[in-house]
Amino acid sequence: MKAVIDNLRREAVRLLANDEVKMVIGYGEGTDASRTTPYFASTPEQSAAFTWGPLCANNLAKHLLDYRYEDTRLAVVVKGCDSRGINRLLQDLQFPRERLVVLGVPCGGQLDRNLIAPEIPPGARLQGIEDTGKVYVLVTDKGRLSFPKDRFLMPKCYLCETNMPVVADFMAGDPVPSPAREGSDRTAEVNEIEALDVAARSSFWDNEFSRCLRCNACRNVCPACSCKECVFEQAVPGWQQSGIIGSKANSLPENMVFHLVRMFHVIGRCVDCGECERVCPVDIPLRLLYRKTLKDAHILYGAGTPGMSTEVQSPLSEFSPEDPEEFM
Amino acid sequence: MITRDQLATLLDRLVEKNKVIAPVSDNRGVVRYTAIRTAGDVAWEFDRAKVPPKSHFLPQTEELYCYDTTGGELRIEPVPAAGRAVVFGVHPCDLRAIAALDPVFDGVFKDVYYLDKRERTVVVGLACKQVLPGCFCRSYGIEPTDGEGADLMLTEVGDRYYAEILTPKGEALVREFPELFSDGGVEEGRRGKEALSRELAGQFQREVDLTGVKEKVDTMFEHPYWQEVARKCIGCGICTYLCPTCHCFDIIENHSGHRGSRLRCWDSCMFTDFTLHTSSHNPRSTKKERVRNRFLHKLSYHNERYGLAGCVGCGRCVAECPVNIDITKIIADIKEVD
């Protein structure tokens, strides 16, 4: 892990010193031992603060959108799942390839902050992280904390599709084993919900959506949500909002419209990075919703997970005479 | 003193004539202040509710009035006044936050919707039993057992609760159900509370020194530091919606045919359209201005307007920010930057 961090820092220093990029977006030390924070270095000196490890859940690809209308070249650190987001942004022409340097990191799985935070002694300061293969060890000033990978990773990691970036100009480390569980079925949870009858399914989602705070975190963190102006915020004065999709009123119908519209908008673009589910403050299982669309797109159009390559078009962006059209 | 069973009986009795709001845990373990039907709904062992109890006094969506224009004539139907309510289980940070909201709605403009509910609601405080990693109320002069702002304050001591009557409303509540409270063991309760307070004081992981922060931040409007913080921000509303002192709202219409209603809904200064003018000019057009505004509001503006802190150290934004923008670090940084 230390070697990867050193490689990353060296490459960031090189890119900034040679003026190859204006800024490097990576991970920096968090404010407690259970997390990191997005970190932006604009000088070689600042690059010394970059870190990497199993506390780097954030998908940094989204931050590129803040600079899409500038003319500066940027570098961004990505894991396997995040890298699909890079490909999608490139495919949607949201960021030009020539202005982008992708720094790939090999990911052995990300620790679930909800699971590890309660195990960390109060006030412990993180000094380093070791990867023993089956266990991540957080070395702190209050002792070594062992987190076996088979219990403490984020649920999405056990279903990991690509733990190595699918696009990278520079790799900061050698391949590491995927955290995916052998024989894991990415559609299992979707199948469970599909097996319910309509009333039970409806009540399942009613219950989840009724809790939504409409904080927009799922949308704002999502690399597929790249619209300059979201449909939910189109210039409609507040006093005319009724009848237009989405007001700020929090009610089950409004919340459902928000989530279902967002779901339809990200079909073929959701890269299944799981950021929506990570950030939701009220634990709505959003990834389950988008997984359903991934499954359907696969059945209907043979589509794989978006962003696996820039060669394959999104199924809804391309017409083929063979497309199913049972509704015609 | 009151036992857990008697407290449950108290809530059950209160439900008969009041709307009783208490921390309730849902199927995914998310704790929010919700109207209960019986004491059995209460999440007794909750640590910190995800959404603060401000949602009772300032609901996320609140109907202000309804109207009907059938036949070309305008009829306005006011929303019925709030009934009696009890908010149970409010921790000291959230109690102080309610006190910080009061002058906002009870200033030059009297906000009848807020004040009506405030007037008819009895607030029952509950001392914390643990300090969470994000908590830093102590830096704001709040002890996790403080009852300031509550009508009745409860502290769990052994298998009973030490109850302190702090206002006439609290006294009326106890007088209504004298058989549920007892004087026996009060001294033991008081000592238990003191011991708990000392124990919790040593559990804080986050402490900030606020000395000089307001004065410093007031000189930092144009400081490049805000750009640095804003780069991380994804512009969601988590910090504001979960903040017990944030209170911004937007007014919207909800109409269909001849009938409609006017609603007041939470809004967030982190949202792009928060300051959007009808001319399409946006004075806070980038995240830098929005992030700066939030921290200036918390650390300076609220203090300036009401003489009260705009942050109570509840730690919700610290715990939930998706990109780890941590107000305790911001405060420390403000003191450091040139």
Evaluated on CA atoms B126, B164, B11, B161, the torsion sign reads positive
pLDDT (mean) for A79-103 = 97
Indicate yes or no: CB of B325 within 8 angstroms of CB of A37: yes
Which contiguous run of DSSP H or E holds residue B179?
none
Specify the pLDDT at position A323.
85
Average pLDDT, chain B: 95
Indicate yes or no: CB of A215 within 8 angstroms of CB of B253: no
Rounded CA separation B323/A27 (Å) = 10
Please give, rounded to a whole number of angstroms, the shortest distance from the CA of B186 to a CA of chain A. Answer: 33
Indicate yes or no: CB of A215 within 8 angstroms of CB of B237: yes
| Per-residue pLDDT at A191 exceeds 70 | yes
Tokens for B192? 């238990």
Q: Is A37 on the interface with B (CB under 8 A)?
A: yes
Tokens for B17? 């004539």
Tokens for B324? 């780890």
Specify the pLDDT at position B145.
97
Condensed to tens digits (0 to 9), the pLDDT of residues B201-213 reads: 999 988 999 999 9
Condensed to tens digits (0 to 9), the pLDDT of residues A263-282 reads: 999 999 999 999 999 999 99
| Per-residue pLDDT at A242 exceeds 80 | no
Q: Up-side HSE of residue B171: CA atoms within 13 Å toward CB?
A: 3
For residue B277, what pLDDT band results from cuts at 50, 70 and 90? confident
Rounded CA separation A138/A126 (Å) = 7
B239 neighbors B320 (Cβ within 8 angstroms):
yes
Q: Is A117 on the interface with B (CB under 8 A)?
A: yes
pLDDT (mean) for B27-44 = 95
For residue B301, give the DSSP letter.
I
* Bigger pLDDT: B49 vs A319: B49
Indicate yes or no: CB of B324 within 8 angstroms of CB of A217: no
Q: Is A287 on the interface with B (CB under 8 A)?
A: no
Please give, rounded to a whole number of angstroms, the shortest distance from the CA of B201 to a CA of chain A. Answer: 13
In the stretch 190-229 of chain A, residues with CB closer than 8 A to chain B read 207, 211, 213-217, 219-221
Condensed to tens digits (0 to 9), the pLDDT of residues A213-236 reads: 999 999 999 999 999 888 888 756
Closest CA to B63 of B74, B75, B51, B76: B76
Indicate yes or no: CB of A237 within 8 angstroms of CB of B278: yes
pLDDT above 70 as % of chain A: 96
Please give, rounded to a whole number of angstroms, the shortest distance from the CA of A323 to a CA of chain B. Answer: 37
Please give, rounded to a whole number of angstroms, the shortest distance from the CA of A7 to a CA of chain B. Answer: 23
| Per-residue pLDDT at A326 exceeds 80 | no
* Residue of B24, B231, B275 to mutate, testing the A interface (most A Cβ within 10 Å of its Cβ): B231
pLDDT above 90 as % of chain B: 89
Q: Is A58 on the interface with B (CB under 8 A)?
A: yes
Condensed to tens digits (0 to 9), the pLDDT of residues B44-69 reads: 999 999 999 999 999 999 999 999 99
Pick the residue from chain A with its C-alpha nearest to B329. A31
In the stretch 247-286 of chain A, residues with CB closer than 8 A to chain B read 247-251, 275, 278-279, 281-283
CB B153: neighbour CB atoms within 10 A? 27
Condensed to tens digits (0 to 9), the pLDDT of residues A26-39 reads: 999 999 999 999 99
| Helices and strands in chain A: count of H runs, count of E runs | 10, 9
The domain locations on chain A are 2-113+159-171, 188-317
Which amino acid is residue B129, in one-letter code?
A: K
Rounded CA separation B248/B250 (Å) = 7
Condensed to tens digits (0 to 9), the pLDDT of residues A148-158 reads: 999 999 999 99
Which member of A38, A220, A251 has the closest CB to residue B232? A38
B120 neighbors B83 (Cβ within 8 angstroms):
yes
* Bigger pLDDT: A237 vs B303: B303
| Per-residue pLDDT at A103 exceeds 90 | yes
Specify the pLDDT at position A327.
73
Closest CA to B18 of B160, B144, B126, B151: B151
| Per-residue pLDDT at A243 exceeds 60 | no
ipTM summary value:
0.94
Specify the pLDDT at position A238.
54
Please give, rounded to a whole number of angstroms, the shortest distance from the CA of B193 to a CA of chain A. Answer: 22
Which member of B50, B61, B322 has the closest CB to residue A221? B322
DSSP string, A255-271: HHHHHHHHHHHTTTT--
Specify the pLDDT at position A325.
79
B92 neighbors B137 (Cβ within 8 angstroms):
yes
For residue A249, what pLDDT band results from cuts at 50, 70 and 90? confident
Buried b (16+ CB within 10 A) or exposed e, B241-266: bbbbbbbebbebbbbeeeebbbbbbb
For residue A245, what pLDDT band results from cuts at 50, 70 and 90? low
Rounded CA separation A211/A206 (Å) = 9
Which contiguous run of DSSP H or E holds residue A186?
none
Q: Where are the alpha helices (DSSP H) in A92-221?
A: 113-116, 149-152, 188-194, 198-210, 217-221
| Per-residue pLDDT at A240 exceeds 80 | no
Q: What is the pTM of this model?
A: 0.95
Which of A237-246, A264-273, B289-298, B321-330 is the least confident region?
Answer: A237-246
Rounded CA separation B84/A2 (Å) = 60
Pick the residue from chain A with its C-alpha nearest to B273. A233
Q: Is B297 helix (H, G, I), strand (E, B) or coil?
A: helix
pLDDT (mean) for A16-33 = 97
